Amino acid sequence: MRRKGRLAAVLALALCCLACTGSGSLHQETFTLAPAEKPVTNPLKGWAPWNGNQREDFDSTLAFVSVSWRELEPEQGVYAFDQMERAHQIDQLRRQGVRLVLRVVCDYPGKEPHLDIPDWLYEETGGTWYEGEYGSGCSPDYRDPAFLEAHGRLLEALGQRYDHDPYVAYIQLGSLGHWGEWHVDEEAGIDPFPSQEVTDCYVEQYRAAFPHKQLMLRRPYGIGAELGLGLYNDAFAQAGSHQEWLGWIADGYRSSENGEQLDGMPDFWHNGASGGEFATDRDVWAYVLEDYEATLEYIRSSHTSWIGPRCFGSETLADLPPEQRDLAAARVNALSQELGYCFAVTQVQVRQWANAPDLNVTLTVENMGVAPIYENWPLCLRLVDPGGAVLRQEMVDGRITEWLPGTNTLSYTFAGSGSLPPGHYSLQLGIVDPITGQPGIRLANSGETEPCLYQLAAFEKRY
């Protein structure tokens, strides 16, 4: 009896499904797309040379801007942002569509003793003058409450100026240590680097000032994991040092600066960008000639989105012997292809039901890169007739920051598209740059009809 009851239930369910299918006949077409060659350049990734030092041999969509507190606030409460932007050619970079990696520095060692903080701040908080292996300068007292309070006011002003500036893509948490790299030369007579209790205060100031920006730390800290921050490595691809940095990220570490045990930031790159610059222990061309395979592996294992300011965006092929130039150029471009995200639409499904005739599309998107994109740019989806007329254009939140390396899907229904007459149509896709309002990301797909706009499928609408 139980078997008969179960069989009757199954038959009833099957008849119900058949009835539903009959009344809502589904027309579905599936298109498989083969990925094309990876684009060499795209926004928010690649090379980030010093501002004003870009070279024509290799494209760059980023520029690195390092500014001292002394430049930014020469008088207490008086911010020289306009003057700083002129000095660093910021308007020219904006006109070129170049986005910025910004770092504030309080101690940049040089050949001669000098201050990188304002005179008024030094008079209030002091500092340690030094001459050492890195050069000469003055290391501020980062523990001084007055210094920390003034730093918070500076960041508040910077945030008001740049937190909503779309041209500022990444902000490195410099501020502390030589070059903003979160270490000091104790052998030059400088007090040890401040404790995590102090450095966390600086991190919190940055997050409060820049709630909408990608922030990046020089080394992993627990607060970085909590806030979803990125990391930068200014000794990128240096044998030994780079592996150690990856170990810090995975497992935590004991600080060589002050002996504290610090937490790691495993999988930080899911939410925060990975960047840095090539180490200075060898000629930059060595990274694509003698050490190419190792450099490629460091990019992959670090999930790196961009490299700068010491990078190929500021190099010229003419500096190499003629017989090395073609190989070097090909490898530089191959590294650029590997950096960051790379999107390819690999499958399109178009569905329509007779009793619910609005068109539904499902895209399978392969991220062939090593990292996601870190800004949520909207998608532009278009329905186009055979004559090229755009019948529907929708701006869609695809949550593309969640497109990690691997396979991702997006489903969307064109509301009201059921009123379109039966016939043949095409589906087009572009990822829209918020600055220009136009498609701005190159896909690893063929079928580009306009810059960064791709025809994905031609299909039949039956209902």
pLDDT (0 to 100) of residue 24: 65
Alpha carbon distance 171, 158 (integer Å): 11
The DSSP call for residue 37 is P
Q: Pull the structure tokens for residue 367.
A: 């991220």
pLDDT (0 to 100) of residue 52: 78
CA 266 to chain centre: 17
Give yes or no for a contact between 310 and 60, defined as CB atoms under 8 angstroms apart.
no
Q: What is the pLDDT along the chain (463 residues), one digit of tens a residue?
A: 433 444 333 333 333 333 344 446 999 999 999 999 999 999 999 999 998 777 788 999 999 999 999 999 999 999 999 999 999 999 999 999 999 999 999 999 999 999 999 999 999 999 999 999 999 999 999 999 999 999 999 999 999 999 999 999 999 999 999 999 999 999 999 999 999 999 999 999 999 999 999 999 999 999 999 999 999 999 999 999 999 999 999 999 999 999 999 999 999 999 999 999 999 999 999 999 999 999 999 999 999 999 999 999 888 999 999 999 999 999 999 999 999 999 999 999 999 999 988 999 999 999 999 999 999 999 999 999 999 999 999 999 999 999 999 999 999 999 999 999 999 999 999 999 999 999 999 999 999 999 999 999 999 999 9
Alpha carbon distance 443, 345 (integer Å): 8
Alpha carbon distance 326, 261 (integer Å): 47
Expressed in percent and rounded to 5, the helix, strand and coil fractions of the chain are 30, 30, 40
Give me the domains of the chain, ranges plus CATH numbers.
25-37+342-461 (2.60.40), 46-338 (3.20.20)
pLDDT (0 to 100) of residue 314: 86
Give yes or no for a contact between 325 and 309, defined as CB atoms under 8 angstroms apart.
no
Give yes or no for a contact between 373 and 427, defined as CB atoms under 8 angstroms apart.
no
Alpha carbon distance 81, 62 (integer Å): 20
Alpha carbon distance 118, 55 (integer Å): 33
Give yes or no for a contact between 133 and 159, defined as CB atoms under 8 angstroms apart.
no
pLDDT (0 to 100) of residue 54: 79
307 φ, ψ (degrees, to nearest 5): -130, 130
The DSSP call for residue 393 is E
User: Of the candidates 48, 389, 70, 377, which has an alpha carbon nearest to the alpha carbon of residue 232?
Assistant: 48
Sign of the C-alpha dihedral computed for residues 83, 84, 85 and 90 taken in this order:
positive
Q: What is the 3-state secondary structure (H, E, C) of 308-324?
A: CCCCHHHCCHHHCCHHH
The DSSP call for residue 286 is G
